[in-house]
Every structure is written in structure tokens, then in C-alpha cells.
Amino acid sequence: MPAPLPGGVYAADGPGMLQPALRRLPRLIYVPDSEIGGHTTVISQRTHRIVRVLPTGELDQHVTPSWDLRTLYVEASASDHLATINPATGRMTGVVRTLRPYNLYFTPDGRQAIVMDEQHDQIVFSDPHTFARQNVVADRTCRGPNHADFSANGRYLVVSCEFSGELLQITTLGHRVIGRIHLGPMAMPQDVRLAPDGRSFFVAAMGADRLLRIGWRHFRVARRYRTLSMPHGIYFSRDQQRMFVSDRGAGAVQVFDLARGRFTRTWRIPGGGSPDMGGLSANGRVLWLSGRYDGEVYGFATDTGRLIARIRVPGGSPHGLLVWPQPGRYSLGHTGEMR
């Protein structure tokens, strides 16, 4: 994997630290809709207006930047393909066939793509360009693999299995399962993110209303933090001091102080909502999230928590929203996990 930088796991993800090739790209938000008859809505970050709607396929789940930051992929699960988007134009360029893609990741060295085939309970290691299958991990304890993140040294990834309540630890080279944590089927684990110091993973246990902390060396739950309702997405501030957790069932975002190890603030959506997946603007000033059950996109000012944008989008189930471009040297996938 690329050599780590001093300053933590996300040292290359500071405010405005865009790669030269990304600096002239239009600042856009890509919003996939996970209903049958789906599409991806493109929104201007500057004007908050819809720019266009792309026919990306059926049951669109997430929008994911490629490892080399040159292409955006939409996981159109029911269409059995990845729709490709040129980030310089914000327009669709084609499709790549792959079976039931729900989520998409890339190993830190960029040599493998990992397609989460949630329907068939498979974690598929593939060619990162053609997506030809190279190896499949199908662990009997893992039903519904969906989210993941990688250790700081890139030697393994942690995968959440929503329907069986399992966490798996899988090596990136040998593709072996070397650890399991059984949380119970009611836990419904979702987003997984490596802490900025690289010493633990945070996991959103949506069904249990808990934020979990998992040690990187000893694969077990070290701490459980009570959340509001249905925690789903996890995002770190650009200064690596705070963590934002979207509470889908509570219509709110909770702010976690990493140094103090506790939640310190709650940002509520006036009148309620269903904040789900998204990401920060390149300067870190706005957190953009999809409103999964409300056909909306939310923009929160990260300094005050004030809701500064509430944008109606076509379709009834906006899902894995991507804010692009993002700071960082390379993409690990999902909705812009950068390092």
C-alpha cells in the first residue's frame, strides 16, 4: 500500500487537499435511488440545484470513486452492473457487468476491487478495472455483507454482515477469515470506519442503537456507546477531532468527540428526517447526507450543526450519496473513503 503519512490515517484528507487532477472538477453531489426503476440525481454543491438525472440502472445503492480517482461507479444491484460516470462532466459513460453489486471497495494497493454481493452473501475479490472475479469469500456466518474498512497497514479489512449480525476480519492477500465477532441478528451492523489514530474501528450497530469500538489488534468489542435511533453512517471531521454519526431513525446527527470518547452534540432535522449515507465537502464545512425514506438530501454546517440545505430529489429512496471531489491520495471505495 502507499506509504503512510505522518499525522494519522487521514493525514492526506485535510481541508481542500485535492489532488491536482481533481481541482478543476465540478463540485457535485451524486445521489443514487435504491428503488426499482432507479437513477442517480446530480446536484450542484454551490447552487443546491439538480443538474441532471442519470439513468444508471435498477436499485442503485451507492456511488463509489475508483481507487485512482478517475471514474465514479454506481452499484446498480438489480441491473447486475456498475454504471460508470466521468467526474469531469458528471455524465454517464457506460456500464461494467458484475453480479448484484451492493457496495464496492478497493484494497489500499489498488490491485483488487471488492464487490459486496449482499443478495448472495458473497464478498467478491475482482480485477479493479474489468471486475472479472478472482476469488470469493462466502462465510457461512455472514449473511448480507455490506460495509467495510481496512486496517492502517492494509493487511486486513473488517466487514459488517447486516442480516446475521456478524463482523468478519478478512486478510487482503490470502482472502482468509481470521476473526469473527457475533453481535446477534438484531444488531444489524452497518458502516465500519477506522479511527484516525488507526488503533480501533467504529461500527454503527443500527438495530441495537449502539456505536461499537473494535480494537485493531484484539478483534473484539472494546466499548459500546448508546446512540439515538438506527445509527447508520460514520464520518470524520477534516481535523480528525470529531466523528459524525447519522441516526436514521431519529432524524438527527450525533457528534462524537474522539479525544473525550463521548457524544457531545446532536443536530436535529427540523420536522424530522431520515439521514443515511453521504460525506463531507472538500473543505469540510458541510456534511451532506441522503434522506433515505423522505426523498431528500440534507446539508449540515459542521461548525454549528445548522441545516443549511434540504433538497427534494426524484424517487423515494436516496441512498449512498457521494460528494465529489474529495481530498486524499486514493479511494478505498464506498461513498468516498479516502486516504
Give CATH for domain 11-338: 2.130.10.10
pTM: 0.97
- Express each pLDDT in 104-125 by its tens digit: 999 999 999 999 999 999 999 9
| pLDDT score for 111 | 97
How sure is the predictor about 40, in pLDDT bands with cuts at 50, 70 and 90? very high
- Cell numbers placing 60: 442503485
Q: What percent of the chain has pLDDT over 90?
A: 95
* Mean pLDDT for the chain overall: 97
Does residue 36 carry a pLDDT above 80?
Answer: no
How sure is the predictor about 158, in pLDDT bands with cuts at 50, 70 and 90? very high
| pLDDT score for 2 | 84
Does residue 216 carry a pLDDT above 90?
Answer: no
The stretch 135-161 carries a mean pLDDT of 97
| pLDDT score for 325 | 98
Does residue 128 carry a pLDDT above 80?
Answer: yes
| pLDDT score for 1 | 79
The stretch 217-243 carries a mean pLDDT of 97
- Express each pLDDT in 42-69 by its tens digit: 999 999 999 999 999 999 999 999 999 9
**Domain extents in the chain:** 11-338
- Express each pLDDT in 291-312 by its tens digit: 999 999 999 999 999 999 999 9
Q: What percent of the chain has pLDDT over 70?
A: 100
The stretch 124-146 carries a mean pLDDT of 97
The stretch 279-285 carries a mean pLDDT of 98
The stretch 251-255 carries a mean pLDDT of 98
| pLDDT score for 23 | 97
| pLDDT score for 4 | 80
| pLDDT score for 37 | 79
